[in-house]
Structure 1
């Protein structure tokens, strides 16, 4: 989101430690795990886009990219193939998180600074037909929807990281019944559902302490488990995250310019890459032409970077 770029621009070169203090109940703080982060390399896949907020692989050879406008309007859902071909997948206004399910991509729209600070409910979840590009509204009346996840019942969770009520919102598959989820977590941003653990992982951006929360979807009213990062939260500016095929959570630290791997069961952590200014989102490759063992990262600078172990 563009406001994060403005707020942390002068802090992007801050040299922060990435030690974690683990706050999972009944579990001691774990030591850094250097083995899991050894020999990761990085290479630029693409550049020259506008500010990129999020990404997802469509399973058909395309990488979908949420491209936003710094002026607060416009933007769109771009598509990039492994051979470098680019095109507009759909004209989604101010897009945010993306979720792929079968032949559809679900995308947040209305993820703007103005909507956040004025508390304007003009955000939506829209579906994009991957074959035709046709758009349909799934849910409306949302405040600045940023991150997006879909749960096993077909319902959605959206995050919000600015404004008077910057918490998670859960809506049914048909877009009805919007209500807050785990309101203990504030300034929420990245979302990733882990089907193996049946937990929803969420990052916080502007809290004084950066938190990765773990919500048990079978007991949504229970207090979320937490993994916290030391230091002033906005200096990390934790952005989007994903759960890898190894079960670890990979987190983009926007202001710190790092991607961190953390084992949510033990708390073991390590930095897999740094020197990635304004990194926003990470996903493992999926579909024709994309390496499933590589992690792909977007940035506000309009780049897509491949991280390979």
Structure 2
């Protein structure tokens, strides 16, 4: 892959004031999606790079649209209009030193290309100590903020989910074989779970629990002693992909990749579901992959099919306020996103990666929600 000069992130001096719940909001900010470069298309157990298709949609035709198309003079039905958010959080979520959940920096943002050549995985994982787990060819490497690499393990096939456990092992989900592996700090590979149906998204919460989506199994699971426990299984989890737990609200978010939706599932303290999944947002024409959550409880979703990043401003009950906001568009495919963690990585930026192998940074001006780290 040819090298590219990094694109410097444009500093925004204008902030979006987000009124309290029930207000009518302020001025509107419109952004229009455009056709991006080659992206990776995901199927159960396979991964391939294809050109994005405009003018088509894979969204569930029964789901009500939550974005409005705009006309740019070109045929692009995947475009979306950003409406102003009128609320971001409840009072409980505005606590904490320096945490401002009322003034949110609006997009769109100019992404910065940080690094290249990290192919073989569509995910990334911070260890909290200055390292970022990525994959270069068949090797998993730990990358520092100045892009120095240390090889952790090699001989690995295509990897989807990539997350560190609180004990310091690196979990990797292998979609073709249906296995979940752990890589110890000395590079030793340990088989944890087999027989999964295209394991995909991984998330480790602050208590150390591991959550996983089965892309081919229409299932969301958590692990108790490395035995999978079904949290939800059914059509609402069809092509389940990204996953993140909002511990403050007791909500598990996951994406319905093929329909371009983000769903929420209420869970109790032990991780058992106490409701049916409910749609949080949908982006017509998108295929939503990875998820991230900021410190104010707003959700960020990666549109893998069109190389875009969206944000949904959520109220205290995790209801969408306004419409999903298009935050950034990328020149190469992206699939997953994580807020910066550890020395050298900006905690107020989202880092994204995907099968093409590029590492991107988007400065959004807000910290990520707490996650489980070693």
Q: What secondary structure is seen at the aligned counterpart in 2 of 1:147?
A: strand
**Selected match of 1:83 from 138, 142, 146:** 146
Residues 131 and 143, structure 2, Cα contact 8 Å, conserved in 1: yes
Give the distance between the partners of 1:47 and 1:237, measured in 2 at CA. 23
**Selected match of 1:272 from 322, 327, 330:** 327
Give the distance between the partners of 2:108 and 2:262, measured in 1 at CA. 25
Give the distance between the partners of 1:102 and 1:275, measured in 2 at CA. 32
Residue in 2 that maps onto 1:170: 221
Report the count of equivalent residues.
275
Give the distance between the partners of 2:77 and 2:225, measured in 1 at CA. 45
Residues 153 and 173, structure 1, Cα contact 8 Å, conserved in 2: no
Q: What secondary structure is seen at the aligned counterpart in 1 of 2:140?
A: strand
List aligned pairs for 1:222-261, cutoff 5 A: 222-231=275-284, 235-261=285-311
Alpha-carbon offset, residue 52 of structure 1: 3.5
Alpha-carbon offset, residue 44 of structure 1: 0.8
User: Would you tell me which structure has more helix in proportion to its own residues?
Assistant: 1
Q: Which ranges of structure 2 fall in alignment gaps of 5 or more residues?
A: 1-39, 56-75, 87-103, 365-374
User: What is the TM-score of this pair, normalised by structure 1?
Assistant: 0.78
Give the distance between the partners of 1:230 and 1:295, measured in 2 at CA. 20
Residues 19 and 229, structure 1, Cα contact 8 Å, conserved in 2: no
Give the distance between the partners of 1:259 and 1:60, measured in 2 at CA. 26
List aligned pairs for 1:93-108, cutoff 5 A: 93-108=157-172
Cα pair distance change 1:299/1:176, threshold 3 Å:
closer
Cα pair distance change 1:236/1:126, threshold 3 Å:
same
Alpha-carbon offset, residue 106 of structure 1: 4.0
Alpha-carbon offset, residue 290 of structure 1: 0.5
Residue in 2 that maps onto 1:53: 122
1:181 aligns with 2:232: yes
Cα pair distance change 1:144/1:290, threshold 3 Å:
same
User: Would you tell me which structure has more strand in proportion to its own residues?
Assistant: 1
Residue in 2 that maps onto 1:190: 242
Residues 165 and 171, structure 2, Cα contact 8 Å, conserved in 1: no
Give the distance between the partners of 1:2 and 1:253, measured in 2 at CA. 11
Residue in 1 that maps onto 2:360: 305
Alpha-carbon offset, residue 255 of structure 1: 1.2
Q: For the aligned residues, what is the CA RMSD?
A: 2.8
Give the distance between the partners of 1:251 and 1:302, measured in 2 at CA. 19
Q: Which ranges of structure 1 fall in alignment gaps of 5 or more residues?
A: 21-30, 70-74, 113-121
Residues 256 and 277, structure 1, Cα contact 8 Å, conserved in 2: no
Q: What secondary structure is seen at the aligned counterpart in 2 of 1:108?
A: strand
Larger radius of gyration: 2
